[in-house]
Amino acid sequence: MAIFNLQKREIECKIVYYGPGRCGKTTNLDYIYNKFKKQVQGEMVSINTEGDRTLFFDFLPIGIGKIKGCEVKVQLFTVPGQVQYSSTRKLVLKGVDGVVFVADSLEVRREKNLLSLKDLQQNLKEYGLSISKIPLVLQYNKRDLADEGLPIMSIEQMEKDLNRQLKVPSFPGAAIKGDGVGKTLQECLKLTLINLQKELKWAD
Strands 170-172 and 45-49 turn out to be unpaired
Binding residue for another protein (CB under 8 A) from 9, 38, 41, 49?
Answer: 49
Q: What is the DSSP string of 20-86?
A: STTSSHHHHHHHHHHH-TTTB-S--EEEEEGGGEEEEEEEEEEEEEEETTEEEEEEEEE---SGGGH
Q: Which is nearer to another protein, 54 or 192 (CB)?
A: 54
Tell me how far CA of residue 169 lies from CA of 29, 39, 44, 45, 185, in angstroms. 19, 23, 27, 28, 11
Q: Is 200 in the site for another protein (CB under 8 A)?
A: no
Contacts of 201 (CB under 8 A, 6+ apart): none
Q: Which is nearer to another protein, 33 or 163 (CB)?
A: 33
d(CA 109, CA 88): 22
Residues 98-117 that bind another protein (CB under 8 A): 106, 108-109
Q: CB under 8 A: which stretch of 124-132, 148-156, 179-187, 195-203 binds another protein?
A: 148-156
Q: Is 148 in the site for another protein (CB under 8 A)?
A: yes
Q: Is 145 in the site for another protein (CB under 8 A)?
A: yes
Binding residue for another protein (CB under 8 A) from 3, 44, 200, 203?
Answer: 3
Which parts of this chain interact with another protein (CB under 8 A)? 1, 3, 21-22, 45, 47, 49-53, 55-56, 59, 75, 84-85, 87-88, 91, 94-95, 106, 108-109, 142, 145, 148-150
